[in-house]
Amino acid sequence: MKTILLLLLTTYGISSAQTTITKAFNDPISGETANYLTVTGTPDNSAVGANTTFNNASLTLGAASPATYSAPLAAEVTTFPGSTLKMVGSGNTFLYKQSASKLEITGLVTSDATLNLSANNGTFISYPAAFGYTETDQAQGTFTSPSASGLCKGTISISADASGTLVLGSSTYNNVLRIKSVQNFNLHLPNDTSFVFPIGSIVNTYYSYYDATHKFPLLTTIQTIINVPVAGINNQTTSGAQALNLSTLSTGDLVAKKEGLMIYPNPAQDFIQFKGETGNYSTAKIYSLDGKLIKTSDLKSGKVQVSDLPSASYFIEVSGKDNKKTETSKFIKK
């Protein structure tokens, strides 16, 4: 009975906390893999505002489509200066630059075109981001494609424009925050350095649905519209969607699959303890939901005292001596 009650309290506490996208919890790390599945059907992104319902009950899940994060190669850093992280998934490659407050796009490589934003990186997201967050950033660089190449310039508009309940197939997720990103680029000939005469455009529209217990979005959709009349491309539209494979994830305990590391209990009152191979981890850091570092503790004793923390939800990040191996999870202090 006590175990059942604890699980119910854990589920209630996590689901009732406001979802905020933070660097401490959501920033991707080299070596991670987001286990996605392809989605069949047309996603419904029409709902807006607070306390809404994102009804995607008609969607079905398909084949595995993982997204893997790694350090960019030296040649990629030369091509896309400033890049610190690479993501490969669904046949596309994204290059990012990470900082304390932002995740920025330095390049995008697809089968149709390559965008190199080395002249002015574009913001992917700024931390922290909660409902009502909005930002518009300028981006500039070059584009190449099989039919044309030249310069590109435009805007990236990001907003946390909706929150509520996500119905995804037969599953329902509460306290979901949606991030919308519209990347709107005009294309120019190589000698149009004043960006006066566009020859076409590329518009990418992304929707990402986050909850408070999973690092990566539960559902991601994208629509791309390419228009380059001089190359015979007239509003060519492609779209796709993918959903997180939640059968491999845990919402209560942090499990580092490679090392077998687990934290418990969750919720915690006095201490957080650790199970498994703890030898590769030396430090634990606790952050508030807005990404502020609250305390740092070593793991020599195998546990972290939390009795001094106010009752709230927090993130805990454990790392190795070289800070290269890290695992992050959310917990509740009772």
Q: How far is CA 11 from CA 174, 234, 252, 255, 266, in A?
A: 11, 49, 8, 17, 10
The 8-class DSSP code of residue 73 comes to P
Q: Is the pLDDT of residue 267 over 90?
A: no
pLDDT value at position 36?
A: 92
Most confident of 64-68, 104-108, 245-249, 298-302: 104-108
Contact, 97 vs 84, CB < 8 A? yes
What is the rounded average pLDDT of the residues 65-84?
A: 95
| End-to-end CA gap in the chain | 19
Residue tagged 């998934």 (tokens) = 89
What is the rounded average pLDDT of the residues 165-190?
A: 94
Centroid of chain to Cα 163: 16
Q: Is the pLDDT of residue 6 over 50?
A: no
Fold assignment, 255-333:
Immunoglobulin-like (2.60.40)
Per the omega criterion (within 30 degrees of 0), is the bond before 28 cis? no
Q: Is the pLDDT of residue 293 over 80?
A: yes
Contact, 140 vs 120, CB < 8 A? yes
Please, which pLDDT band fits residue 325 given cuts at 50, 70 and 90?
low
Q: Is the pLDDT of residue 13 over 50?
A: no
**Residue 208's CB: how many other CB atoms inside 10 A?**
19
pLDDT value at position 94?
A: 96
Q: What confidence tens digit (pLDDT) does each residue in 221-257 have?
A: 999 999 999 888 899 999 999 999 875 433 333 433 3
pLDDT value at position 276?
A: 63
Question: Comparing 298 with 101, which gets the higher pLDDT?
Answer: 101
- Pull the structure tokens for residue 21: 């996208």
Most confident of 22-31, 177-186, 252-261: 177-186
pLDDT value at position 129?
A: 97
Domain residue ranges of the chain, discontinuous segments joined by +: 31-245, 255-333
- Report d(CA 53, CA 61) in Å as an integer: 20
Q: How far is CA 45 from CA 76, 86, 164, 178, 223, in A?
A: 34, 27, 13, 9, 11
Question: Comparing 19 with 17, which gets the higher pLDDT?
Answer: 19
Q: Is the pLDDT of residue 323 over 80?
A: no
Residue 4: partners with Cβ closer than 8 Å, 6 or more residues away:
none
Question: Which residue type sits at 286?
Answer: I
Most confident of 2-11, 21-30, 70-79: 70-79
Q: Bridge-partner residues for 125, per DSSP? A: 103
Contact, 318 vs 327, CB < 8 A? yes
pLDDT value at position 91?
A: 85
Q: Is the pLDDT of residue 193 over 90?
A: yes
- Report d(CA 14, CA 330) in Å as an integer: 8
Question: Comparing 217 with 214, which gets the higher pLDDT?
Answer: 217
pLDDT value at position 324?
A: 55
- Report d(CA 217, CA 176) in Å as an integer: 10
**pTM for the model:** 0.73
Contact, 86 vs 108, CB < 8 A? no
Q: Is the pLDDT of residue 313 over 90?
A: no
Please, which pLDDT band fits residue 184 given cuts at 50, 70 and 90?
very high
Residue tagged 């709107």 (tokens) = 184
**Residue 11's CB: how many other CB atoms inside 10 A?**
14
pLDDT value at position 322?
A: 59
pLDDT value at position 210?
A: 96
Is 172 strand, coil or helix?
strand
Q: Is the pLDDT of residue 12 over 60?
A: no
Question: Comparing 291 with 293, which gets the higher pLDDT?
Answer: 293
- Pull the structure tokens for residue 90: 């669904």
pLDDT value at position 160?
A: 98
Residue 50: partners with Cβ closer than 8 Å, 6 or more residues away:
131, 162, 163, 164
